Structure 1
Amino acid sequence: MTAGHTPNLGLVCLTVGPEVRFRTVTLSRYRALSPAEREAKLLDLYSSNIKTLRGAAEFCAARGIRLYRLSSSLFPMLDLLGDDTGAAVLDHLAPLLLEAGHAFADAGIRVLMHPEQFIVLNSDRPEVREASVRAMSAHARVMDGLGLERSTWNLLLLHGGKGGRGAELQAIIPDLPDAVRLRLGLENDERAYSPAELLPICEATGTPLVFDAHHHVVHDKLDSQEDPSVREWVLRSRATWQPPEWQIVHLSNGIDGPQDRRHAHLIADFPSAYADVPWIEVEAKGKEEAIAALRLHPLLNAPAQYTPDTVPLE
């Protein structure tokens, strides 16, 4: 984050082209299979997805992409209650999974995951909370299997969950399994949790805040990502990262303007507040095309305009 710094731009899960595509199976289709058929199905599917994941590492390395978001659907049925078939198959494939993880590490590519929206750690329904912890533990198991360290370098990212239950979220985080808790990050969203609502939770639990300027603009009904509050939240969220050089933010534009929640194909409006952020996940429909276009942006080819100093809370 010094003068002349160029942020690392991250690819999210898939490519626009055919290079990175993962296979899946529906729950209804899976349940229609016999136990032997289930095992064979998952063995074929998991093997294929590990091979594709290895290809994703090669794809990113060839293009100088140093941040990659794993698909949270790599290994369907892994967290299925009462069925350990997925876990047994993944154990069988452990050497291949570790090789895929080494491919990212050897290329110097940071890896993280942003699990599904249905994971709500602070739900008011006990069965949802239990299922959410089970799902997060399955994702953490995958990251362990890839050989990824248990730290926020390899983030497991969630939104705040059910609105109005910040205290419940803060209370559950310390009790999460280490494989989850040590990787956990929280992200502001467009409706339930602003960065101001997440910040006290992050500070109390030692959880980094991943700031999303697009969500912030929609939530607060702002005119653009050039609003001064965007820079304020870049800095306040940076203070939750240890070390600050690991900070990640999310970047996207609305299709029809700042208040449009839908992600545009490319990034036309890059917020100047992001110019010195070290790691940026590009949440654009154009995937690798958006990253390639962003690398030509003037703000990413000029000396950084800001210092990493934090903004004191009022």
Structure 2
Amino acid sequence: MKIGYPCVNEAMDCSAANTFRLASYSEERLVAAVAANLTCLRRMLEWNVAQGLLFFRMGSGIVPFGSHEINTFPWQKHFAAEFRAIGDYIRANDLRVSFHPDQFVVLNSPSPDIVRRSIEELIYQGSMLDLMGLDGTAKLQIHVGGLYGDRELALSRFAAVHATLPEAVKARVVVENDDRLFSLRDCLHLHELTGVPILFDNFHHECLNHDEPMPEALRLAAATWHPARDGVPMMDYSSQAVGERKGKHTGDLVDDLFRGFLTELRGLDMDLMLEIKNKEASALRAVAILRELGLSAPAPNVPSPPLTLPPDPKAPAKARRGKKEAAAKMEES
């Protein structure tokens, strides 16, 4: 069982999502941003390994405008060695990584243009995993999409578009149950239509379900993953923020709730992505609880890289921005 957090290390002084405005696009800006993003990504992965946090959701913006028509620079070739080195590090340290494309990726949209751009974004993000040399266990996590007034049509439209995806992308796509529109039951139906694995979200299931007990729901979702092709099932973990609207994620790990959830697994092996606002702080507590319960290996005896480094005068300005500003620009769900 691996514990992870998404996209941003709140305590680290760098961002892996340096970007710039579309109106300011230039190949020079692109190269500088990608170089800074890959450097920061490597630092985050090294820090995570030292803490025993072996699951990480990478941010989608490693390559600014990666799927946009303006970006004709051959970044795949230019940064091939850097991507390969990161992939080598991931495999050598038994890390699990994923992407969660932004909400504009909607495969079941009635708009052909939205569908086209969604597929292009999945191809872009999948190509980064390909450049890293990672197998199909590195996933692209998406939602079913919109309801558009007809549940069955929305699901069948997703299935039809899914069938057209390049095989390399199709092998990586997983679908997540959400908290408002598409429940675990809907995702199970989609799995029957497409074979797509279900990335189970416990908090979303608590918000929207058909009375499936949590242990049963976990096993139903896990059964959609092929042990060899897909690897250990991934899931998202969070809980309700006290006093907030229904569906708002907690800002900090609630230790007792997390311990209780672990009993619901009943021995099921899952890689857990914590969708909790304080990110690595909660992830560190979660992995400590797993170690206490004998569910995770002891901390590795490797040096922990520093969270901060002296400013690099050659880095793009965005790379030196404050961590709060950087975090605000990153996707969290």
Structure 1 length normalisation: TM-score? 0.83
SS at 1:59 equivalent: helix
- Equivalent-residue separation in structure 1 for 2:185 and 2:10 (angstroms): 34
Q: Is the 8 A contact 1:39 1:89 kept in 2?
A: no
Equivalence for 1:44? 32
Any stretches of 5+ residues in structure 2 without a counterpart? 296-333
Equivalence for 1:254? 240
- Equivalent-residue separation in structure 2 for 1:23 and 1:70 (angstroms): 10
* 1:49-85 superposed Cα distances (whole Å, 9 cap, x missing partner): 1111111221111011111111111111111125413
Seen in structure 2, the aligned counterparts of structure 1 residues 154 and 23 have a Cα distance that, compared at 3 Å, is closer
Following superposition, the deviation at residue 147 of structure 1 comes to: 1.2
Q: Which amino acid aligns with 1:273?
A: E
In structure 1, which of residues 140, 143, 167 is the aligned counterpart of residue 126 of structure 2? 140
Any stretches of 5+ residues in structure 1 without a counterpart? 1-6, 304-314
Equivalence for 2:319? none
Q: What are the equivalent positions in structure 2 for 1:85-164 lying under 5 Å apart?
A: 85=73, 88-149=74-135, 151=136, 153-163=137-147, 164=151
- Equivalent-residue separation in structure 2 for 1:94 and 1:70 (angstroms): 17
Seen in structure 2, the aligned counterparts of structure 1 residues 196 and 73 have a Cα distance that, compared at 3 Å, is same
Equivalence for 2:198? 209
Question: Would you say 1:62 and 2:56 are equivalent positions?
Answer: no
SS at 1:185 equivalent: strand
- Equivalent-residue separation in structure 2 for 1:122 and 1:300 (angstroms): 43
* 1:136-170 superposed Cα distances (whole Å, 9 cap, x missing partner): 10111111111111x1x111110111122011111
Which portions of structure 1, spanning 4 or more consecutive aligned residues, are displaced by more than 6 angstroms? none
Q: Is the 8 A contact 2:232 2:269 kept in 1?
A: no
- Equivalent-residue separation in structure 1 for 2:216 and 2:292 (angstroms): 20
Q: Is the 8 A contact 2:199 2:235 kept in 1?
A: yes
Q: Which amino acid aligns with 1:173?
A: H
Q: Which amino acid aligns with 1:64?
A: G
RCO higher in structure (CA 8 A, sep ≥6): 2
SS at 1:175 equivalent: coil
SS at 2:213 equivalent: helix
Following superposition, the deviation at residue 172 of structure 1 comes to: 1.6
Q: Is the 8 A contact 1:160 1:186 kept in 2?
A: yes
- Equivalent-residue separation in structure 1 for 2:44 and 2:182 (angstroms): 32
SS at 1:295 equivalent: helix
Structure 2 length normalisation: TM-score? 0.79
Aligned length: 283
Q: Is the 8 A contact 1:209 1:241 kept in 2?
A: yes
- Equivalent-residue separation in structure 1 for 2:131 and 2:173 (angstroms): 17
Q: Which amino acid aligns with 1:202?
A: H
SS at 2:82 equivalent: helix
Seen in structure 2, the aligned counterparts of structure 1 residues 16 and 182 have a Cα distance that, compared at 3 Å, is same
SS at 2:37 equivalent: helix
- Equivalent-residue separation in structure 2 for 1:257 and 1:250 (angstroms): 22
Seen in structure 2, the aligned counterparts of structure 1 residues 59 and 298 have a Cα distance that, compared at 3 Å, is closer
- Equivalent-residue separation in structure 2 for 1:45 and 1:141 (angstroms): 18
Equivalence for 1:196? 185
Following superposition, the deviation at residue 278 of structure 1 comes to: 2.5
Q: Is the 8 A contact 1:254 1:261 kept in 2?
A: yes
Question: Would you say 1:184 and 2:173 are equivalent positions?
Answer: yes
- Equivalent-residue separation in structure 2 for 1:296 and 1:140 (angstroms): 32
Q: Is the 8 A contact 1:203 1:240 kept in 2?
A: no
